[in-house]
Amino acid sequence: MNSDRTVIIKEDILIVDDTLENLRLLSTMLLKQGYNVRKALNGQMALKAVETVVPDLILLDIMMPDMDGYQVCQRLKQQSSTAEIPVIFLSALNEVFDKVKAFEVGGVDYITKPYQFEEVLIRIQNQLALKTAEREILQLNSQLEKRVQERTQQLEIANARLLEMALHDSLTGLPNRALFMKRLQSALQEVKANKSSQFAVLFLDCDRFKVINDSLGHLVGDELLIAIAARLQSCLSNGDTLARLGGDEFAILFTEIENISNAIQMATRILDLFSHPFQLQRREVFINASIGITLGNCDYEQPEHLLRDADTAMYRAKALGKGQFHVFDPEMHSVALRLLQLENDLRRAIERQEFVLHYQPIIDLNQGKISGFEALVRWQHPTRGLVSPGLFIPIAEETGLINPIGHWVMKQACRQLISWQQQKLVNDNLSISVNLSVRQFSQPNLIEQIDRVLAETLLNPQCLKLEITESAIMDNSQSAATILEELRKRQIHLSIDDFGTGYSSLSYLHSFRVDLLKIDKSFVQRLNGTSSNLGLIPAIISIAQTMGMKAIAEGIETTQQLIQLKKLNCDFGQGYLFSEPLNSKNVVELITSDPHW
């Protein structure tokens, strides 16, 4: 006896993240949604899991040890058996070139941490719906082709319905990314066939939409997105296409235009529309938008490149202050590519140990003698030569590469000081100062790393001074007190770098006691021998003296600046008046000359 049974197959999702808490939270929520969830802590585990059972979708973190998310995705796309698995990147990296790279290696979506689970869920649903729809279309076509001619109409209806689901956003009913890209491809082909034809792409992102979701809830957020879609649709012509790409991102294909001025007028009109409140069922909501514009032309070969450039321009609009539009300049893409290349080179530089340390002397202003050195990292690029720290340090900060670089700097600096001590070039009181980035200071195993460096180098902890910014303390206020207490136990000195340029409130100095305040060079450069340009320097020195700290002035370049700082009883100083940062060989020459200022 046969009976009809519906077999419910759970979609299989693989989550790859080296943070256990992220894995636990995300897997718990997805399990509640009825999905089958597997987890992997690193790239190798992920590849093994895919080899065992091919998942329906992968949520992939980028920053992981040994093998990052980009490399995992590339490996998957190289294999025919895994190339079609949708990969959604989850990352704290929020720069344009990070997203560009994610899509270049084969990702289908990119979600920035911290994320809202509802957003992750709808993007998962969209990707799985696309995959399911494509699979169902193939299955239906195969089955319906075997049926008799009278079923042809039913086949067409079924295909049309599935295609509608696959190509439209379930919330707003607008075309989704897939349909938008198809129409963009058609517009690009038209431009290539007819040189007089022009079109523009507008990429729109709502400013601070997350605040709406966090404060009013996701139901209100969804209602707002529907209202935004309706308002945008009202200002378009029949030939134009408005699509929701995901989250609070919309794209407009603006056709039959004469020049870029038409697109600018459209963007201006949209921004004016956003200046009026949105009347929802129970409340009135204000929200702004940032718009990126790119003009379609024959130079483009792929529709994805047009959307990429409009996205890049949108992020420039956000960087310029939000609530405005920006027209794409090809140089913007060149900059993104150069930064991406620099990031790739930076990753290899860590493996190849292309970094060197330079040392700038710190002078005891009362004695006029060298009391220590600040270790400054330099990148000796194999083809570019010395790369400015101002160029590669921000990239290292954003990508997390600053952690291995910073650890290397600390170890090398401690080794160098021990070497000088063993050669009897310096006395045991001379110190070495090392900068700690915000990311380094937030590492849970920071104290363990410092202990390991001191144990390996045998350096007296009293000779090590760590420099951090005010934001490093304030951004990690919960753990800062514990870290500072551990440093005090080891008699490691801590100084606040660029003091006076960060937080306006100084109350944190009472809670987080440090040993030295470093006066930023922007204050020192104003010194010209008159009392009118002293600025905050007397106040900073007074704060240091009152709280039992020492003050260090950086960026001293003239004798007049040195005289004024001595009169103000500043304890230490450094700058080009004494010496530029030197390599270890030149430091030895400086020490042996026994300078006095």
Residue 52, pLDDT above cutoff 80: yes
Buried b (16+ CB within 10 A) or exposed e, 475-513: ebeeebeebbeebeeeebbbbbbbbbebeeeeebbeebe
Q: What is the pLDDT of residue 148?
A: 61
Q: What is the pLDDT of residue 337?
A: 73
Q: What is the pLDDT of residue 10?
A: 80
Residue 511, pLDDT above cutoff 80: no
> How many residues are there in the chain?
597
Per-chain mean pLDDT for the chain: 89
pLDDT, tens digit (0-9, with 9 covering 90-100), for 295-347: 888 888 899 999 999 998 998 898 888 899 999 887 766 666 777 787 888 88
CA 272-274-279 angle, to 5 degrees, is 130
CA 321 → CA 316, 317, 318, 326, distances in Å? 9, 7, 5, 11
The least confident of 215-219, 469-473, 490-494 is 469-473
Q: What is the pLDDT of residue 510?
A: 66
More confident residue, 512 or 105: 105
pLDDT, tens digit (0-9, with 9 covering 90-100), for 482-508: 888 899 899 999 998 878 665 544 666
Structure tokens at 425: 């070039």
pLDDT, tens digit (0-9, with 9 covering 90-100), for 271-289: 999 999 999 988 899 999 9
Structure tokens at 497: 């770098």
Residue 413, pLDDT above cutoff 80: yes
At residue 465, what are phi and psi to the nearest 5 degrees?
-120, 130
Rg (CA), the chain: 30
The least confident of 143-152, 163-172, 368-377 is 143-152
Residue 149, pLDDT above cutoff 80: no
Q: Distance between CA atoms of 469 and 358, rounded to whole angstroms? A: 20
Q: Check if the beta carbon of residue 271 is closer than 8 Å to that of residue 228.
A: no
Q: What is the pLDDT of residue 505?
A: 47
Q: What is the pLDDT of residue 8?
A: 59
Q: Distance between CA atoms of 442 and 34, rounded to whole angstroms? A: 36
Q: What is the pLDDT of residue 506?
A: 64
Over residues 131-141, mean pLDDT: 82
Q: Check if the beta carbon of residue 53 is closer than 8 Å to that of residue 10.
A: no
What contacts 120, CB < 8 A, 6 or more positions away?
26, 59, 88, 90, 111
The type of residue at 49 is: A
Residue 157, pLDDT above cutoff 90: no
Helix (H) or strand (E) holding 206: strand 199-206
Q: What is the pLDDT of residue 416?
A: 96
What contacts 265, CB < 8 A, 6 or more positions away?
none
Residue 447, pLDDT above cutoff 80: yes
Q: Distance between CA atoms of 440 and 453, rounded to whole angstroms? A: 14
pTM over 0.75: no
pLDDT, tens digit (0-9, with 9 covering 90-100), for 86-128: 999 998 888 888 889 999 999 999 999 888 889 899 999 999 9
Q: Check if the beta carbon of residue 306 is closer than 8 Å to that of residue 271.
A: no
Residue 544, pLDDT above cutoff 50: yes
